[in-house]
Structure 1
């Protein structure tokens, strides 16, 4: 093993070796994510980058380390979100073919750039606060102090990035939906609980590779022990029964309309939308549905609370069958402008609640710095004008009690679900479009909702336009999933739940605790060194 470490040092000393190794390990980490779901790679694929960053600067320069971090982020995030390229062609929006290519590549590139900033922020903070190379002969305590600091900072940076407009690939995401045992750790303190465990195992494996004989075995044994404890604790949470009241059962109908976005506002799209969702509503109502859910933007025009509402075929069907519905459509935002909304209709057609999409897609639903960017790039949406975001602390009422609602991109932001669960949300309903993206994106979107169902311990009902609609139970099992780009209706039976996981009750306590412990340990070590 010692010879292996010396060989590694020789290889990464060559200019392009760190870059290649980092990029390939980032690609491997992307393989852990849906649709491949090779989740075991999530426990291994960060280790090579850590080995590169831990090299002395005389062997791997700071510049090479920054480039290696960039390469890892490109490999991980660039491959994971390659589905964004399905935006092309945008000619149906009146954009020339070459312009469509340029806009699509810009969108992919900017998202990858944002993920590079996340990785480099973590790497630079870790190096600044805890150092990379250390002394020639470091004690195990000094090594563990750096590892703990890196874990804490990884979680802190993930939390910070989750409050920015772009976030899709936290490290915990690599375990969904395949590793349900470990995903249950999200019930304790959110997805950062899982990320912390993954970073810990990766870094301890890497540190073991750097050491000799007995110390190597201690680091590797620690990594294996953490992974084993995480799985055993997750298994214990997984085996806990979910209790519900006898009268908590709901039969929810799901309509997957399969109306391509490119035709939605044209005559054919309007006709198909009215037919698909109205007929789907009638079918599910006749099957005994208690409520019916439609996707995001099922009717992408203003009609709710207007003079046209009474003449709308879907609304007329609702008045005829008296089955409540949650309908994705456009709404007037409270502060003016347009919102992507999910309206909660009661049995008599009254509006009893509403949810406005909180996390809007940059370029797609609004333009950042619109006065400047609008001169160069158009907005890639069928709605008129930039949309207005809803608040992250909305409360959604239904005829059956409070629900946890989300629209499309909201699924990547766990605090939106946690806030609603903490205020009494008893089940999750998500409405999404997902067109024109491919099945890989749809699998990833489903994986996000699996995580949200487990974290909040709620049933999740998903209605999408083109796939994959689905039903997920509180333990993350997919009870039903639709086909790809098909028209479907489905009647699902779920239960309303009122239990509160530690994450719902107290939020993400783990991250500030880890940061505090790491900084205090660092301060204590510095004071000891100064006094020594």
Structure 2
């Protein structure tokens, strides 16, 4: 029953993500995991047992399995869209082998996410589980003159229980945020708890301006932990139960009120620096994109779109990731698209491949009205198993080459600056939308607006919806206007509050003209990064020392 309830609660958390967007479930979906992980039964061993045996017993038990199941259910449901890479027969991969690759990719990234939840459970129990969880029964009543003494003992018992509840909540929040921060440094990351609130719960997302996505993650884990702690004392301590329920309820209200206050702050734009952008959504299916028919369709579609938007007097035109799937030098020498630039004289951000030594980069090129390349941005966060093969010496023999290029892709450096005729831009290519530090660094270095470019052609509508949700958070965190250009959807214009002012349809060729504004403001997150996780980690350490 525990395992089933755990799996259901993990699936409920999965339903909070776009496009299902039942964001309210996130505030209760962690409660079963917390209850089953931090039960009232002690996990300490009898005196004299070696520490190694104690640690092994904490790791290898039912509670570890419970955490893994919750994580697998949440991440597996949220990321099931990744199986959309199948079939890859258009790349020459046999149908059955393509299916196996898709299943492998889904299992790999799902298990990686489940490991985060499992580690949270193990660390929690390793540091907290050696004590009795604070819902032990009240001290027994006594007779005679001991009533006054028992009153003191009862008050001490209540205070200790409340202190332990607070300590556990702070510790649980700190560990979860710290693990998300560590996962965010690697190559596999997407399903932070924070994105369960995007794009619909814009009030709570305003809190990301304070300390990034971890602010929302911390709020979700804390509220779930407080409600779970109230269940621990249900029927044992009515006073503490009522206090915790009230605290959790007020917490949700105050968090949203704080976010609402930030959301209602006036959005002041410098109208003299208005940028009239044109977005081309080419809608070139991946099944033909890298073949002659796809090339012709891409060149024709993007050339015509460029000319039409130029005639509408836009200031800047944006194309998606690898809009023209050629080396940029080939485009300059041979394409009608480049000829249109020389004729129309409107700057364009072109998605194409760049050459670097003997390899290729997935890049965006800032081409001026004269056809010169002003700046170039090479994708930093490549897609594992899609654009490069991790542990290539081992996995490469099993999976072979998933990239359609003759040479492998290499990543750009993390210190790139992307200049445009309208100021410095914050740039993200596809998968990079999940990595907030990638955007924070560029904003801190002087980036004034966000430009993202994606493909997403091989996935169902779930993936582009989640991708848009990620970009909404990035716009809010950095307090920047954003223009998104995608191959098949969703392209969009997003303001610094996270409002989606325009969003494209899926799987259609579309042209759009919209307005964005450069901004020089700096949120607390842009200035100081994820300071909340650091403070929570220090505070939890202090509380743990006091309690021991």
Coarse TM-score class (shorter-chain normalised): over 0.9
- The equivalent residue for 1:117 is 115
Match of 1:29 among 5, 13, 25: 13
1:123-134 equivalence runs, <5 A? 123-131=121-129, 134=132
Match of 2:28 among 24, 36, 44: 44
Q: Distance in 2 between matches of 1:384 and 1:157?
A: 37
User: Offset of 1:233 from its aligned partner?
Assistant: 0.9
| 2:42–2:132 CA contact under 8 A, matched in 1 | no
Match of 2:217 among 182, 186, 195: 195
**2:528 corresponds to 1:506:** yes
**2:168 corresponds to 1:146:** yes
Deviations 1:131-165 (A, max 9, x none): 27625636110121111011011100000000111
User: Offset of 1:130 from its aligned partner?
Assistant: 2.3
Q: Distance in 1 between matches of 2:301 and 2:276?
A: 20
- The equivalent residue for 1:474 is 496
SS for the counterpart of 1:151 is: helix
**2:283 corresponds to 1:258:** yes
- The equivalent residue for 1:419 is 441
1:241-256 equivalence runs, <5 A? 241-256=266-281
Match of 1:92 among 87, 90, 94: 90
Q: Distance in 2 between matches of 1:103 and 1:216?
A: 49
Contiguous gaps of at least 5 residues in structure 1: 1-16, 527-532
SS for the counterpart of 1:405 is: strand
| 1:363–1:378 CA contact under 8 A, matched in 2 | no
| 1:458–1:473 CA contact under 8 A, matched in 2 | yes
- The equivalent residue for 1:293 is 318
Aligned-residue RMSD, C-alpha = 1.6
1:366-445 equivalence runs, <5 A? 366-445=388-467
SS for the counterpart of 2:313 is: coil
- The equivalent residue for 1:53 is 37
Deviations 1:180-204 (A, max 9, x none): 0000000000000010011000010
- The equivalent residue for 2:153 is none
- The equivalent residue for 2:157 is none
Deviations 1:32-55 (A, max 9, x none): 110111100111100111011122
- The equivalent residue for 1:69 is 67
User: Offset of 1:524 from its aligned partner?
Assistant: 2.2
- The equivalent residue for 2:46 is none
- The equivalent residue for 1:283 is 308
Q: Distance in 2 between matches of 1:115 and 1:379?
A: 25
| Segment of structure 1 superposing worse, 375-384 or 282-291 | 375-384
Structure showing greater radius of gyration is 2
1:263-278 equivalence runs, <5 A? 263-278=288-303
- The equivalent residue for 1:222 is 247
Q: Distance in 2 between matches of 1:33 and 1:26?
A: 12
**2:181 corresponds to 1:159:** yes
SS for the counterpart of 1:492 is: strand
Q: Distance in 2 between matches of 1:48 and 1:437?
A: 32
User: Offset of 1:236 from its aligned partner?
Assistant: 1.0
- The equivalent residue for 1:315 is 338
Q: Distance in 2 between matches of 1:173 and 1:477?
A: 15
Q: Distance in 2 between matches of 1:43 and 1:57?
A: 25
Q: Distance in 1 between matches of 2:276 and 2:289?
A: 29
Q: Which consecutive segments of 4 or more residues in structure 1 shift more than 6 A?
A: 58-61
Deviations 1:461-515 (A, max 9, x none): 1111011111111111111111110000100111111111111111111101110
Contiguous gaps of at least 5 residues in structure 2: 44-56, 137-159
| Segment of structure 1 superposing worse, 386-395 or 150-159 | 386-395
- The equivalent residue for 1:530 is none
The structure-2 alpha-carbon separation of the partners of 1:152 and 1:58, relative to structure 1 and needing over 3 Å to count, comes to closer
User: Offset of 1:265 from its aligned partner?
Assistant: 1.7
Deviations 1:73-93 (A, max 9, x none): 111111111111111111111
Q: Distance in 1 between matches of 2:359 and 2:401?
A: 15
